Amino acid sequence: MKITFYFILLLVSFSSMADNEITYFIADKSSSPLQISTQQSKRVGIVTEVINSIEKNNIDFTHSILPFKRMIKYMKNPKAKWITYGSAAWPGQQSLSLSRTSIMTVKHSLLTLKSNKYNKISDLFGKSLVLIHGFDYPGLAAYIEQDKFDIIYVKDHAAAIKIIAMGRAVAFPEMNIRLNYHLKKMNLVRDNFNFHYIGNIIADYDINLCFSENFPKKSKTKIEDLLLEMKNDGSLENIINTY
């Protein structure tokens, strides 16, 4: 009887641990430099560095690297407890239950070759625009639906930038921080390109931590306090500046 009792107690203990497990979701190969997953599954990136800093305060996460669509599917599970990043400007799961303190504010530009001129969005009507499969482009969606551009879809940022560099498309819309990161990673000369700021089309917006709806309240409060502390003491800015 005693053995049976301890066995049941052990099962209950493991079940409780599983219920309290929190997953930190990382979108594989699509979210650099916010999250960067290498072939060796080394977890780095702006958001991941924030998470790593939080984990130093006795808050543990199970890191899970998944393709973006599969990640969103898991996030829709009402029983799953998770944390990742998101924004109020995006649709779906990544716009729900956001942290009070933002990690950063992102600006968007159209990447073009130096030789391609741009003054207003109508300058691109009838021309080739390169976009990434599965990404949302707030502000451009209406023009895309009206077939104002000749769209070339690619799988990732490197492919999009290569197409611009080769002159196969006129412009590529993206966050400034992502454009700078990938140009540097690809060893491309920044002076060969122009960044045309498009805040009038895609408004600047904040990137926040994003929690599951059933995220443990005590842990969430502690994380909110730590994130605010990182913002106030300059830790967040230091992380962002390394990218």
The mean pLDDT value for 157-185 works out to 96
Tokens standing for residue 173: 């819309």
Lowest mean pLDDT among 4-13, 98-107, 128-137, 180-189: 4-13
81 φ, ψ (degrees, to nearest 5): -110, 120
pLDDT at 39: 54
What predicted TM-score, i.e. pTM, was given to this entire model? 0.84
Q: Name which of 185, 183, 173, 234 is nearest 44 in CA terms.
A: 185
pLDDT at 38: 67
The mean pLDDT value for 154-164 works out to 95
pLDDT at 225: 98
pLDDT confidence bin for 5, thresholds 50/70/90: very low
pLDDT at 37: 80
For residue range 36-65, what is the model confidence (pLDDT) as tens digits? 986 554 558 999 999 999 999 999 999 999
Percentage of the chain lying above the pLDDT 90 cut: 77
Mean pLDDT of the chain: 89
- Give the separation between CA 192 and CA 165, rounded to whole angstroms: 8
Percentage of the chain lying above the pLDDT 70 cut: 89
The answer to whether residue 8 scores a pLDDT higher than 80 is no
Contact between 30 and 174 under an 8 Å Cβ cutoff? The reply is no
pLDDT at 194: 97
The answer to whether residue 13 scores a pLDDT higher than 60 is no
pLDDT at 2: 42
The answer to whether residue 4 scores a pLDDT higher than 50 is no
- Per DSSP, what are the bridge partners of residue 62? 23
pLDDT confidence bin for 217, thresholds 50/70/90: very high
Q: Which residues have CB under 8 Å from 65's CB, separation 6+?
A: 26, 28, 37, 41, 43
Q: Which residues have CB under 8 Å from 94's CB, separation 6+?
A: 72, 75, 84, 85, 86, 87, 210
The mean pLDDT value for 86-100 works out to 92
pLDDT at 209: 98
pLDDT confidence bin for 9, thresholds 50/70/90: very low
